[in-house]
Amino acid sequence: MAYVAIADRDHEHELHDPQSFIRKYIWSQDHKVIAIQYAVVAIAIGLVALVMSVLMRLQLGFPDTFKLITPDHYYQFITMHGMIMVIYLLTALFLGGFGNYLIPLMLGSRDMVFPYMNMLSFWFYLLAVLVLVAGLFVPGGPTGAGWTLYPPQAILPGTPGATWGIICMLASLAIFIVAFTMGGLNYVTTVLQARCRGMTFMRMPLSVWGIFSASILGLLAFPALFVSAIMMTLDSVVGTSFFLPAVSSMGENLKHSGGSPLLFQHLFWFFGHPEVYIVALPAFGIVSDLLSTHARRNIFGYRMMVWAILAIACLSFVVWAHHMYISGMNPYFGFFFATTTLIIAVPTAIKVYNWVLTIWRGDVHLTVPMLFAIGFIFTFVNGGLTGLFLGNVTVDVPLSGTYFVVAHFHMVMGVSPILVVFGAIYHWYPKITGRMFDERLGKIHFWATFLGTYAIYLPMHYLGILGVPRRYYAYSDSIDFISPSVHIANEWISISAVFVAAVQLIFLFNLVWSYFHGKPAGGNPWRATSLEWQTPDTPPKHGNWGKDLPVVHRWAYDYNVPGAPNDFIPQNQPPDGSVPAGRDHGVKA
């Protein structure tokens, strides 16, 4: 499909303002509409995954009270929850949602360079989600192999959904990858070729840097998942032996022989680790912009930040086997992968320092987006530091497979990016809708989410150190070291989880209510410098920039420049101080 668009589209596409409702909002080729479509579908499917996690927590916290789910269901929910949150929510939302919305607006272009392909990308994504949801209804239900889908169990009896469910999952992933490839080509090419005059690479906002490098990672890493999905489908349907060795399943000796389960794990994590950064890098970028804008200070060490993003992106391809220290691979690999993994902590730490140093000596406005950004720093520091435990091969051995791991990855790639997502939605909501959200509700949402998630995950670390294994449907009293206090912790965690999940309704309510009743926001309510706040209309119209494209004269972080009359200078403001004709800067006194 991709070829069509590449070969047929001219780069100077004309803008035809779509007239009919369907053209404008359904079969839309406008990046802003596509972004919202992506976001709505991602959040909708994410809510499904959230409900699943609540059901799992109720089972774990109150195993004898709520008989809501069986072990089959538990493992199916675990699998779907993980896969949906990582791929269909976070990846889709950061790249399909924020990527689509922000890249053209921040770079001063009219749209993505291949709008038709961009539209196809969304429809393929929707199809992938539908196939995934269809998996819930096939005989045997969805797959319960864990989100890592390790063979052989993913396709052998004894695992829920080992026949139909897994095929739906693999098909859905393959479609998602096609969708992502179409989107990713767009994001990368747009960044490379459609920046407006004056927007050099080193003047791009860090949000764009994050999304840009994450897209490149995705384009190179998703093929690994594609390859493993195809090979596993063949193992399951045709009877090949790529991943299946000779096994005796349920007392029957199967025909397979010689396949390597570890081969799948290598392929999966060759995708899976960069995937962590596909989610994290956009979050890093966006949070940098939130911090800078609301602290009214230039982002500290911009160049270091860009290099750190690039270093993380490059290194993320050589750390994958730290997920496999005790998978049975050659243990000597541990030396290599522990070293690379701990090296990647250096650029990551630099990013954290620079965020904190941006606040230091700033003029910190504690707005809702800023609260989420600060919450992110705290959560990410916590999750990043526990990563040093699991990345270091020796320390990983006792902790892997326990709740320590669950706590770590939820802090670092669950809660942290989600806090950024919330902050970003609050930050750009006025631009997207033209109205302000309700600040009080936003603050309640922040406090409940931030404190609630910490209440969930802090005790989990310690359960993990005790040795409580993850992916257990129930902890019978026959495990000697699991004391009654562990059950109390589980109850506490479950109550917090239900609370945090419920609080998200406030967020959804705020989004909908403010759309109709929020205060009009004006063009630039945060008095921000980057281009998306300088559009002639809010929300931006099709084509974004009216008659003339903007021209950029400075970087995106000119806050409180000594001698400047305002505490910010928009990127498109010429050095002589004159206001570009026909532009409403949204500067309100």
Partner 1 sequence: MSLTVAYGALFTGIVVWLLLVSRFRARSWEALPAGADVDPEHRTPPARIGLWIFLGVISSLFALFISAFFMRMGHNGVASDWKPFPEPLILWINTAVLILGSVAMQWARANVSKGDSKRTRDALKVAGVMTIAFLVGQILAWRLMIISGYFQPHNPAVAFFYLLTLMHALHVIGGMYVWGRMLLRMRAQAGEQHTDQALELTRKFRLSVELCTVYWHYLLFVWLVVFALLLTHSIDSQFVFDRLCDAGSGWRLASG
Partner 2 sequence: MAIAIALILLVIGTVLFHFLSPWWFTPIASNWQMMDDTVHVTFWVTGIVFVAVNLFLAYAVIRYRHRAGGEKAHYEPENKKLEWWLTIVTSVGIAAMLAPGLSVWAKFVTVPDEAAEVEVLGQQWNWSYRLPGKDEALGKTDIRFVSIDNPFGMDPGDQAGQDDVLVASPELHLPLDKPVKMLLRSKDVNHQFAVPQFRVKMDVVPGMVTYFWLTPTRTGSFDALCEQLCGMAHFAMRGRVVVDEQKDYDTWLAAQPTFSKTQAELTGNAETGKTLFATCTTCHGAQAEGNRELNAPKLSGQGKWYLAQQLRDFRNGVRGTHENDIYGKQMAPFAAMLADDTAIRDVVEYIASLEEARPPASVLGDPERGKTLYATCANCHGTQGQGIWATNAPRLANMSDWYMQRQMQNFREGIRGKHPQDFRGAQMASMAKVLADEKAISDVLDYVHTL
Give, as ranges, the residues between 297 and 326 that touch partner 1 (CB under 8 A).
Answer: 298, 302-303, 306-307, 310-311, 314-315, 317-318, 321
Residue 373 or 425 with smaller CB distance to partner 2: 373
Q: Rule CB under 8 A: which of 558-577 touch partner 1? A: 558, 575
- Residue span binding partner 1 (CB under 8 A) among the ranges 278-286, 334-342, 430-438, 468-476: 334-342
- Coil, helix or strand at residue 325: coil
Piece in contact with partner 1 (CB under 8 A), picked from 15-23, 53-61, 327-335, 380-388: 327-335
CA contacts within 13 A on the Cβ side of 494: 19
Residue whose entry in the numeric block shows the structure tokens 């620079």: 354
| Residue placing its CB nearer to partner 1 in the complex, 94 or 114 | 114
List the interface residues with partner 1, window 205-224 (CB under 8 A): 219-221, 223-224
Q: Are the C-beta atoms of 232 and 151 separated by less than 8 Å?
A: yes
Which of partner 2, partner 1, none lies near 301, with the C-beta cut-off 5 to 8 A by kind?
partner 2
What are the residues facing 249 on neighbouring strands?
252
176 lies in the binding site for partner 1 (CB under 8 A): no
Q: How far apart are CA 208 and CA 296, in angstroms?
A: 19
Q: Does 301 bind partner 2 (CB under 8 A)?
A: yes
Q: Contact letters (x/-) for partner 2, 482-521, by CB under 8 A?
A: -x-xx--x--------------------------------
Taking CB under 8 A as the criterion, which residues in 240-279 touch partner 1? 240-242, 255-260, 262-263, 266-267, 270
Q: What are phi and psi of 559, to 5 degrees?
A: -105, 135
Binding-residue pattern over the window 358 to 397 for partner 1, x denoting contact by CB under 8 A: ----------------------------------------
Beta bridge partners, 520, equal 435
Q: Which two tokens stand for residue 124?
A: 């393929």
Q: 39 to 98, contacts with partner 2 by CB under 8 A? A: 63-64, 67, 70-72, 75
Alpha carbon distance 503, 445 (integer Å):
6
Task: Give the N- to C-terminal CA distance of the chain in Å, as an integer.
Answer: 50
Give one word for 559, left, alpha or beta, with left for phi > 0 and alpha for psi -120 to 50: beta
Shortest gap between Cβ of 431 and partner 1 (angstroms)? 23
| Residues of span 110-169 touching partner 2 by CB under 8 A | 144-146, 150, 152-153, 156-160
Residue span binding partner 1 (CB under 8 A) among the ranges 73-81, 129-137, 180-188, 399-407: 180-188
Task: Verify binding: residue 345, partner 2, rule CB under 8 A.
Answer: yes
CB of 298 to partner 2, least distance (A): 6
Q: State the number of binding residues for partner 2 (CB under 8 A).
A: 122
Contacts of 388 (CB under 8 A, 6+ apart): 342, 345
Site map for partner 1, 100-139, x if CB under 8 A?
Answer: -------------xx-------------------------
Distance (Å, whole) CA 47 – CA 66: 21
The structure tokens 């911090």 sit at 291
One residue of 55, 227, 352, 503 binding partner 2 per CB under 8 A? 352
Site for partner 2 in 401-460 (CB under 8 A): 401-402, 447, 450-451, 454, 458-459
State the nearest-atom distance from the C-beta of 265 to partner 2, in Å: 9
Query: Smallest distance, Å, CB 216 to partner 1?
Result: 8
Strands 248-249 and 252-253: antiparallel
* Spacing of C-alpha 549 from chain mean position: 31
Q: Write the secondary structure of 83-134 as one string of H (helix), E (strand) and C (coil).
A: HHHHHHHHHHHHHHHHHHHHHHHHHCCCCCCCHHHHHHHHHHHHHHHHHHHH
Q: What does each C-alpha distance from 178 to 143, 184, 512 come to in angstroms?
A: 21, 10, 32
Instruction: Read off the DSSP letter of residue 248.
Output: E
Sign of the Cα torsion 21, 27, 29, 34 reads: positive
**Residues in 518-557 that interact with partner 2 by CB under 8 A:** 557
Q: Please report, as residue ranges, which positions from 354 to 393 form the binding site for partner 2 (by CB under 8 A).
A: 354, 356-357, 359-366, 371, 374-375, 377-378, 381-382, 385-386, 388-389, 392-393
